[in-house]
A and B are shown apart, each in its own frame.
Chain A
Amino acid sequence: MHGDTLRQVVRISSPSGLHLRPLTAFAQRAQQFQARIAVTKEDRSVDGKSPFEMFLMVSPPGVELTIEATGPDAQAALDALTALLQEMTAEDNGQPNDSSK
């Protein structure tokens, strides 16, 4: 059952897409989980724990990213990373978010 892969699609709605800091922060957060994390955009899939690979993934506004987590804490990872992306998107949308620091 550790081999189960959980998926979540996140639509990036922030006006400027995702850039250096959110993408590397995502990888940094992903590293805290045991589960393998893959992030797929269209047909391109990268290691969600690699800041460099995440950084190179072009994420313009409106793009849909599929987060895949495989491993013991897959669900927790998926929840945390989805929340993180949504939080960062919200931040970029200009909505107040005190927890961002």
Chain B
Amino acid sequence: MEIKRGAPVSPGVAIGPALVLDTEGFRIPRRSVKSDQVKGELDRLRTALAASAASARLNQEAVSAKLGQQYGAIFGAHALLVEDAALARELETLVREQNVSAEYAVSRVMRRHAKALESIDSDGLATRAADLFDIEKSILGHLLGQRREQLADLQEPVVILAHDLTPSDTAGLDQEKVHAFATEAGGRASHTAIMAGVLEIPAVVGLGKFVTDVSGGDTVIVDGNRGVLILNPDEETLERYRRAQSTFRSFENTLVHLRDLPAATKDGTRVQLLGNIEFPSEVAHCQERGAEGVGLYRTEFLYVGKDTDPTEAEHLDAYLTVLRTLGSNKPVVIRTLDLGADKFASTADASAEERNPFLGVRSVRLCLRNLTLFKTQMRAILRASAFGDVRIMFPMVSTLLELRQCKMILAEVKEDLEEEGIAFNRDIPVGTMIEVPSAALMADQMAREVEFFSIGTNDLIQYTLAADRTNEAVASLYSPGDPAVLRLIDSVVKVACERGIAVNVCGEMSGEPTYTMLLLGLGIRQLSITPHNVPEIKKLIRSITMEEAVQAAREVMRLETARDVNNYLREQTRRVLPEVVS
């Protein structure tokens, strides 16, 4: 049993067999085999070892011819390792004595040796472990053949373990079969965290190195409440977690009755709770939890993991699916593409490596350089607006000029549609994300251009404090409770109220119970959050008065550090609803 600690990013507990994803996307789906399959596994193993040695020799020839013999010799040495009788004996013993699959045996043995090598602190050993991983990959490649990279086609429920999950890893994921995520890298705003929220499964990120310690099929526990990953738990731990799992489910059940009650404070101030979604299928999550609409529809998944950019029809199809499920009278805020250039098809040319992608060509900056892409999405959003309460929102706007450009292009697209006689809502509400400090500072000017603001706290915090929270060394700087961030939010809300435009918060801060009282106290009346968190936040809202909230906000704005703010808010929240404070 081994216990790893990281950052909890999505609540819940899951127990299951590990599916280890490495950078090559290999997976080892099955750990055990029946005893009558052992002979077959041994045959597969021998065949794969021979095939792997043969391809290493082919590589040796090819590389020798291309780069010289001393490079080719590396593959010659790999061939010698793979066809070594001692290795075969070790693998076969494991298969025979423990009834495990050939894949599991290969992965287990290689990783055990790699770990032993890595644990000896000496230069050059890391490359020796890399040699082992290379060999492992080669043998697994021969064992798994076409079965690699088929996350869409999982046979049994698994817990996915990886260094970091990328959008392309998860794009085709079979949601029914994935019970949890745990990754070495990543933070609260990482793709893994977002996906886990989307799928409503437990997740722990930022665990540090562990992928080499675990083999596909090992039993693991992901504790998304405490940020713990347990590899090969003992029986006692397993039992304890099984009990915890059922307790957590029953706490959630107590929130079910809130679904049809309004989100209003004890003294009657109404708050609108909207859901953040990524896939059309998540609208169902919103409805189950009583969200009053979609406050943030991320559209990146239409772009990611594809060879070509999505067509207007594909956009429209997704948007209409959302509208159909939600009903035409509920708001849906569609956010235009919010990604870096490296993430999808048509801008591969722009993939000249950026030294600092988060300060580079992404989101609306990318769209403004790629009008075909931008207009295609705008057309689809406008066409969808004929069928429901659709609103359009631009992400990562940093200057007034950018916002005006976006609106100008939108006007052009409207004209086109008009000429073509295609129906759309001429008065579609336009909003901008406030997630770059410059936009927050210019909010009074921005407010003249739009019908609503949506404060994207994840980026706002990262850009205000110049801290990437997936970088463990600076992650502690990143806090929604930082007074600088709160001043920006406070001023944006004041501006919106003065100008009479709507403002909501759609970052993860809005789904964290600790900040609910503060946000209400600052004047926020609309929150857009992960559907999963809606009942909890609603319960909290229903447990406080506006007077308390305003008082708390006033107190918080006087505090000097994020730590003071967080401590104070935790205390206040614990006072009214202890269950939601972890």
* Residues of chain A having any CB pair with chain B under 8 Å: 16-17, 19-21, 24-25, 27-28, 47, 50-53, 55-56, 58, 60, 101
A20-B74, A52-B87, A56-B113 known; A28 vs B122 contact (CB < 8 Å): no
Instruction: Kindly identify which residue among B76, B84, B87, B127 contacts A19, using a CB–CB cutoff of 8 Å.
Output: B127
- Minimum distance in angstroms from A81 CB to a CB of chain B: 16
Is B123 in contact with A24, judged by CB distance below 8 angstroms?
A: no
Cβ contact within 8 Å between A24 and B77: yes
State whether A51 touches B131 (Cβ < 8 A). no
Question: Residues of B contacting A58 with CB < 8 Å?
Answer: 117, 120, 122, 125
Q: Report yes or no: A47 in contact with B86, Cβ–Cβ below 8 A.
A: yes
A-contact bits for B402-444, CB 8 A (1 contact / 0 none) = 0000000000000000000000000000000000000000000
- Also in contact, A51 and B124, with CB within 8 A (given A56-B113, A56-B117): no
Mark out the residues of chain B between 73 and 124 whose CB falls within 8 Å of any chain A CB in the assembled complex: 73-74, 76-77, 80-81, 84-87, 113, 116-117, 120, 122-124
Q: How far is the CA of A50 from the CA of B128 in the complex (A)?
A: 16
Q: Chain A: which residue is nearest B73 at the CB level? A: A21
In the complex the two chains form, what is the Cα distance from A47 to B85 in whole Å? 11
Closest CB in chain B relative to A24 CB, distance in Å: 4
Cα separation A24 to B127 with both chains bound (whole Å) = 15
Extra A-B contacts (9), CB below 8 Å, given A20-B131, A51-B77, A52-B84: A21-B77, A24-B80, A27-B80, A50-B85, A51-B84, A52-B81, A52-B86, A55-B81, A60-B122
CB neighbours (8 Å) of B128 from chain A are 19-20, 55
Residues A51 and B80 in contact, CB atoms below 8 Å apart: yes
Give the residue name and chain of the B residue nearest to A51 (CB). B80
Within 8 A of A (CB), among B48-78: 69-70, 73-74, 76-77
A20: chain B residues at CB < 8 Å are: 74, 77, 128, 131
* Number of cross-chain contacts by CB at 8 Å: 51
B196 to chain A, nearest CB (A): 38
Complex Cα–Cα for A24 and B79 (A): 10
Chain B contact-residue range equals 20 to 34
Q: CA separation between A7 and B115, bound complex, in Å?
A: 31
- A21 lies within 8 A of B85 (CB): no
Known A52-B87, A55-B81; contact A21-B74, beta-carbon cutoff 8 A: yes
Contacts of A25 in B (CB 8 A): 77
Q: B84 contacts A50, CB within 8 Å?
A: yes
Q: Which residues of chain A have C-beta atoms less than 8 A from B77's C-beta?
A: 20-21, 24-25, 51, 55
In the complex, 19 of the A-B residue pairs with CB atoms within 8 angstroms, ordered by the A residue number, are: A17-B122, A19-B128, A20-B74, A21-B73, A24-B77, A25-B77, A28-B80, A47-B86, A50-B85, A51-B77, A51-B81, A53-B86, A55-B81, A55-B131, A56-B113, A56-B116, A58-B117, A58-B122, A58-B125
Residues of B within 8 A of A17 (CB): 122, 124
Q: Which residue of B lies closest to A25 (CB)?
A: B77
A65 CB → nearest B CB, Å: 15
| Residues of chain B contacted by A19 (CB below 8 angstroms) | 124, 127-128
Residues of A within 8 A of B123 (CB): 16
Residues of B within 8 A of A50 (CB): 84-86
Instruction: Give complex CA distance A21, B87 in Å.
Output: 17
Among all A-B residue pairs, the 5 with the closest Cβ atoms: A52-B84, A51-B80, A24-B77, A50-B86, A52-B87
Chain A residues lying within 8 Å of B74, measured Cβ to Cβ, are 20-21
Q: How far is the CB of B229 from chain A (nearest CB, A)?
A: 28
Q: Which residues of the partner chain A approach B86 to less than 8 Å between Cβ atoms? A: 47, 50, 52-53
CB-CB under 8 A from A16, the residues of chain B are 123-124
Residues of B within 8 A of A24 (CB): 76-77, 80-81
Q: Which residues of A contact B76 (CB under 8 A)?
A: 24
Q: CB-CB < 8 A to B80: which residues of A?
A: 24, 27-28, 51
Q: CA A27 – CA B81 in complex, angstroms?
A: 10
Q: Taking the nearest CB of chain B, how far is it from the CB of A35, in angstroms? A: 17
Residue of B nearest to A58 (CB): B120
B281 to chain A, nearest CB (A): 48
Instruction: Give the chain B neighbours of A53 by CB distance below 8 A.
Output: 84, 86
Which residue of B has the minimal Cβ distance to A47?
Answer: B86
How far is it, in angstroms, between the C-alpha of A4 and the C-alpha of B560 when the chains are bound? Answer: 80
Q: In whole Å, how far is B145's beta carbon from the nearest beta carbon of chain A?
A: 24
